[in-house]
A and B are shown apart, each in its own frame.
Chain A
């Protein structure tokens, strides 16, 4: 029998949390206690700060040739130089701007499209739902690379086009997720009651559905940022990106076309890849934690049975 000391009576323990309350305080508790989310947020914030402060932070100009082709890393150039003799660290910092900008813009657009489709589809049901879902399926099966090639060929390779393409390809999962959430909220008794009182659809959506759906939407958007940044990276890597903009993907592409491997210039190949990986990881950590907080049911710890513990309890004689 395991002996455990009886814990001191908790005088200030909070009330057992009802599931609704846990969703409300999710963001707060999450950032306060969840280590995964904390780390992710810090890393992401760091990258954003670097991107914003690019003009101030970068040691050199991103267009100025300051040394030899593939110059080695040195105290003056921590990450060496690229195939144009430009400081890699500078390029990396400025690249953060483009990659993050595209990532956030594209996922914001995806959220708007997906959210709207999801809400309409889930709320209206019936024919609207069927039609919108078929449209979603259609977009789901569009192959991304061929689409980008076509768009690049017809409308040119601009940053704006890239943002639009990424949004167009990736809004579907958001739509599906939001649709199922809206469907379940719609069936809640308090929504039915408001409807039976004569509330308009607009009112029901704005006052009841949206507040329930927004946290999930935000969590999903954060996860989409990760996907969008990755998408931008490989688009640029494939040479379909905006040639006038330096992004991490472009840097990787440059290193490929510039023969960095043959020059043993690891500093031109590896750092952009690491940056992309870190940002995606950070976004995933934050987004996942947020989703976990919304859906406590996803935890499976409660499925373990038969492992209660025994303890001794001092028997008190009679009263007091």
Chain B
């Protein structure tokens, strides 16, 4: 437990908007061990991207943050920018959403990959160039292509280049925000294979943020499912699928078509709650198919349901024999 390279403790993030304050992240906690691949899964608006932006200290001026983010035991948010900046890119790096389209079209790929090295002072000049060549080979791009421009690369190769850029300063943690969402399924498979290979080869820890459950199911050993700014359930991906302890997790899987599955695919009625108002009780309760007495008024606690498996749902706090009654009152 204490070997965790990254620990997020009770993270809260608010955004100050014209129309009021948005409580985008509401008490998120998780741990990541070195070399581990963890998925952060959820639908739009659940707060997953905001969470990892906070870990990088890249929140805008209208954001306020509470909670702790520990890198190797040290709270990097303690003094805001001052304590985050030294770790940015050198210890924790990020592949942003749409990074493959965010390259400067008039600079060579090699120069752009070298840029973080020069900015963070890890390498310069010829040494940086050499390292660029190594990084490109690492991500599966021939080193000779460092002199080409972004438009000469295909989508998949640009995504590889974006990953190379994230690895430029040798981080121990890689945060990837929807790295394969805009890619074709074959290229996606190649990039996933690359990411898995990198984590194993370099001992890199990976946080994989996405709405795509199957991708997380196949690449990550653990995952956290987010809903309305909170973690609904977290555990081994196999457990999340085969032994879901939060109705949202179960329903989310049930709403995801599987190539060979035969079950009917469902949709979840309703929409997520607004985060600019205080939510009473469980945020998922209005859409839940197993809501019962305490759900609308009592906020569920995050409880441990098995080894390294937690869920925030009242159903886990009701003794097994009473579950039958509980289900009868609330279930539809």
Contacts and interface: CB of A to CB of B under 8 A. Distances in A.
Do A and B touch directly, given a CB cutoff of 8 Å in the complex? Answer: yes
Interface of A: 1, 4, 7, 9-11, 13-17, 301-302, 304-313, 315, 318-320
A282 B17 CA distance: 29
Contacts of A15: 19, 274, 276
Contact of A308 (B22, B61, B274, B299): B61
B19 A14 contact: yes
B65 A306 contact: no
Interface of B: 10, 12, 14, 17-22, 54, 57-61, 63-67, 77-81, 85, 274, 276-278, 298-301
A319 to B, nearest CB: 5
Contact of B66 (A13, A306, A312, A319): A312
Given A305-B58, A310-B80, A16 B22 contact: yes
Given A9-B278, A17-B18, A313 B63 contact: no
Contact of B80 (A14, A17, A304, A308): A308
B63 A308 contact: yes
Contacts of B12: 313
18 contacts: A7-B21, A10-B276, A13-B19, A13-B277, A14-B19, A15-B19, A15-B274, A16-B276, A17-B18, A17-B19, A301-B61, A307-B60, A308-B65, A309-B80, A310-B65, A311-B14, A312-B66, A319-B299
B301 to A, nearest CB: 6
B299 A302 contact: no
A9 B278 CA distance: 6
Contact of B60 (A14, A308, A319): A308
Given A308-B80, A320-B299, A313 B17 contact: no
B18 A10 contact: no
A310 B20 contact: no
Given A318-B301, A319-B300, A320-B298, A306 B20 contact: no
A9 B59 CA distance: 22
B94 to A, nearest CB: 13
Contacts of A7: 21
Q: Which secondary structure dominates chain A's binding surface?
A: loop
A4 B66 CA distance: 11
Chain A to chain B: the 5 pairs with minimum beta-carbon distance, closest first:
A13-B20, A313-B66, A9-B278, A308-B59, A308-B63
A160 B19 CA distance: 49
Contacts of A306: 57-58, 81, 85
B72 to A, nearest CB: 20
Given A15-B274, A16-B19, A16-B276, 4 more contacts: A306-B58, A308-B64, A308-B80, A312-B66
Contacts of A313: 10, 12, 66-67
B63 A309 contact: yes
Contacts of B21: 7, 10, 13
Contacts of B78: 1
A308 B301 CA distance: 28
Nearest to A13: B20
Contacts of A312: 66
Most chain A CB neighbours (cut-off 10 Å) among B54, B60, B274, B278: B60
A292 to B, nearest CB: 14
Contacts of B54: 308
Contacts of B79: 1, 310
Contacts of B60: 302, 304-305, 307-308
A7 B10 CA distance: 19
Contacts of A16: 17, 19, 22, 276
A303 to B, nearest CB: 9
Contacts of A305: 58, 60-61
Contacts of B276: 10, 13, 15-16
A6 B190 CA distance: 46
B138 to A, nearest CB: 28
A2 to B, nearest CB: 9
A42 to B, nearest CB: 24
A77 B13 CA distance: 65
A170 to B, nearest CB: 35
